Structure 1
Amino acid sequence: MNVLHLFSKFASKYFAVIVIFISMIAFVSPTTFTWIAPHITLLLGIIMFGMGLTLKLSDFGVVLKKPVPVVIGVIAQFVIMPLVAFGIAIALNLPPELAAGLVLVGACPGGTASNVMVYLAKGDVPVSVAMTSISTLLAPILTPFILFILADQWLPVDAGAMFVSIVKVIIIPIALGIILRRLLPNFVDKSVTVLPLISIVAILAIVSAVVGGNKENIATTGLLLFAAVMLHNSVGLALGYITAKLVGLDEAKRRAISIEVGMQNSGLGASLATVHFSPLAALPSALFSVWHNISGPLLVTFWGWIDSKRTKVDMDTKTPSL
């Protein structure tokens, strides 16, 4: 277990590098990974089950104690990202499947990796966890609804079927994880340290399957789509922070909401696109998974630099002159 824990920490620390490396391999040798595609939904269910194992009722308590930051963050999550995706798809004139796929990832709830990024950024972790949890629980209703409103012009959206898919792949696995934690808390606490590794392997498998299955599409539209994904994520991070600042939240909550808004559950996007649209529509989610695991650490590093400069200024101000 100690070896697995150490490997899990290593994989979490260097996940951005690993996901880029695996994506490159999948592009060069697609047949090595395309067999995974039929199992994407199962893999996402495993990730969500692991999320359920880490959740406690106290994680939802912050919503009752301090609802304003969480409510503002969740609203921003489901308003900013879908509308930004829609605007980018129109502005760049993306092909219908890619446009719908970009809106789909924008309409997804926050990703679990965001909680780690918020912690590293010295953000408000309880707000981050509550936002991830609440947005995930709202996803069966809001994700199909938003997609139907914004993306039905490109591809037919069966909101009812998508609702059922999200309940199966997210709500049920999370509920099972919460129940198991309640029944076997000691066992879960001993095993929870390796959950990041399981999630990382599952995400890598999903990304590699989508990249491998879209080698030709990446070769023809890769640069345009990657630019769209980078812009989508960057604008989401910026507008999340600005929204929190405009409503008067403190710096820790601004950072939490920024990261929560900008980092999506791209695994869910890839799964829904594969099942309800096409492998091509899953490509924006796969590229988003690669990019937001690069932009997240970069933003953490930037904020760390800002904090160190503020600390230095404060020390210089307090130091008495001789």
Structure 2
Amino acid sequence: MAGLLKFISFFTKYVTLWVILCAVFAYFYPEPLKPYGSWISYFLGIIMLSMGLSMSPNDFKLIFSRPKDVIIGVVTLYVFMPLVGLGIGTFLNLSPMLLVGFVLLGCCPTGTSSNVMTFLAKGDKALSVTISSISTIVAPFIMPVLLLFYVKQYVDIDAVGLFISIIQIIIIPIVLGLIVNKVCKKQMPVIQKIVPLFTVLALLGIILVVVALNVERLQTVALMAAVAMILYTVIGLIVGFSVSRLLRMPQAKGKAMTFVIGVQNTALAVTLGITYFDPLAAIPGAIGVVFTTVFCSFIASLWGNRTVEE
């Protein structure tokens, strides 16, 4: 068991390296991977199940003790980030489906990795966890409405289908994880040490398939999509930080707000992009898996090493 745990620790520590290697492999050898496009939703389900396994009722207690902070975070996310995606897509004159992909990413809930970034930055992790949990729970109700409002002129929106899919690939796995967490409480310390391995494997599966399905498109739009993703991430972080400063939040809360706004569920954007729109709409999320993780980890590490005075 000790050997397995050591391997899991090593494997998850260098997740960014595996993501890059998988992306390169899928780019040069796409054909064997293309038939697995339908597996993407199952991969995301595994990631969401992992989230459920790591959650507890305590993750929601701040909505009662500090509702103002949580509501500000969730509202800021869903109000500003779709506009950021739409604005960048319009400003750079991206193709319609690529623009849809950035708006789709902007409509997604906070990614669970925002909690890691907040921890590295020595921010308010409890606030980060609660906002990411609440934004995920309300996603089935908010995302279809936002997409209908912002991108119906570019593509037909199946709002009911989106609602059902988000319930299936997010809410059900999370609820199942919470149930397992409750029923198998004694075994959870061991389970939670193994879960990261399956989370990373599922993430790599998504990257492999998405890149394989988009090789031809990446050859023409990769540079512009990468520039747009850099702008999107930086602006998202600035929005989160600026809101915290305008509201005079303490530094720890400000760090949490920065990352819950700037780090979103890219895997969900990839899954919904391929399922309901076009493989091209999944490219922003696919690029975001790599860039957002690397860039935000760097910012969080720098921030965490600074003193309050600095």
Q: Which range, TM-score by smaller chain?
A: over 0.9
Contact 1:15 1:293 (8 Å CA) reproduced? no
**Offset at 1:305?**
4.6
Does residue 241 of structure 2 align to residue 241 of structure 1?
yes
Q: Residue in 1 aligned with 2:85?
A: 85
Partner Cα distance (1:230, 1:4) in 2: 36
Q: Residue in 2 aligned with 1:132?
A: 132
Q: Residue in 2 aligned with 1:256?
A: 256
**Offset at 1:309?**
7.8
**Offset at 1:32?**
4.0
**Offset at 1:259?**
0.7
Contact 2:125 2:256 (8 Å CA) reproduced? yes
What amino acid is the match of 2:151?
A
Partner Cα distance (1:143, 1:24) in 2: 31
Contact 2:86 2:103 (8 Å CA) reproduced? yes
Partner Cα distance (1:190, 1:130) in 2: 24
Contact 1:7 1:197 (8 Å CA) reproduced? no
Q: Residue in 1 aligned with 2:99?
A: 99
Greater shift, 295-304 or 79-88, is seen at 295-304
Contact 2:121 2:302 (8 Å CA) reproduced? no
Partner Cα distance (2:19, 2:181) in 1: 30
**Offset at 1:45?**
0.8
Map of 1:1-322 to 2, 5 A cutoff? 1-307=1-307, 310=310
What amino acid is the match of 1:73?
G
**CA deviation profile, 1:214-239 (whole Å, cap 9, x unmatched):** 11111101000111111111100111
TM-score, normalised to structure 2, is 0.96
CA root-mean-square deviation: 1.5
**CA deviation profile, 1:163-182 (whole Å, cap 9, x unmatched):** 01000110111111111111
Partner Cα distance (2:57, 2:85) in 1: 33
Partner Cα distance (2:134, 2:92) in 1: 32
Query: How many residues in Structure 1 have an aligned counterpart in Structure 2?
Result: 310
**Which secondary structure does the structure 2 equivalent of 1:71 belong to?**
helix
Contact 1:84 1:236 (8 Å CA) reproduced? yes
Partner Cα distance (2:227, 2:159) in 1: 28
Greater shift, 278-287 or 85-94, is seen at 278-287
**Offset at 1:12?**
3.0
**Offset at 1:33?**
2.9
Identity %: 37
Question: For the pair shown, which has the larger CA radius of gyration, 1 or 2?
Answer: 1
Partner Cα distance (1:44, 1:187) in 2: 24
Partner Cα distance (2:88, 2:161) in 1: 27
Partner Cα distance (2:286, 2:36) in 1: 14
TM-score, normalised to structure 1, is 0.93
Q: Residue in 2 aligned with 1:316?
A: none
- Cα 1:303–1:32 change in 2 (3 A) is farther
**Which secondary structure does the structure 2 equivalent of 1:259 belong to?**
helix
- Cα 1:255–1:32 change in 2 (3 A) is farther
- Cα 1:245–1:285 change in 2 (3 A) is same
Partner Cα distance (1:188, 1:33) in 2: 34
Unaligned runs of 5+ in 2: none
What amino acid is the match of 2:66?
K
- Cα 1:121–1:7 change in 2 (3 A) is farther
**Offset at 1:2?**
2.7
What amino acid is the match of 1:61?
K
Contact 1:266 1:289 (8 Å CA) reproduced? yes
Partner Cα distance (1:280, 1:30) in 2: 15
**Which secondary structure does the structure 1 equivalent of 2:259 belong to?**
helix
What amino acid is the match of 2:21?
F
Unaligned runs of 5+ in 1: 311-322
What amino acid is the match of 1:306?
R
**Offset at 1:120?**
1.0
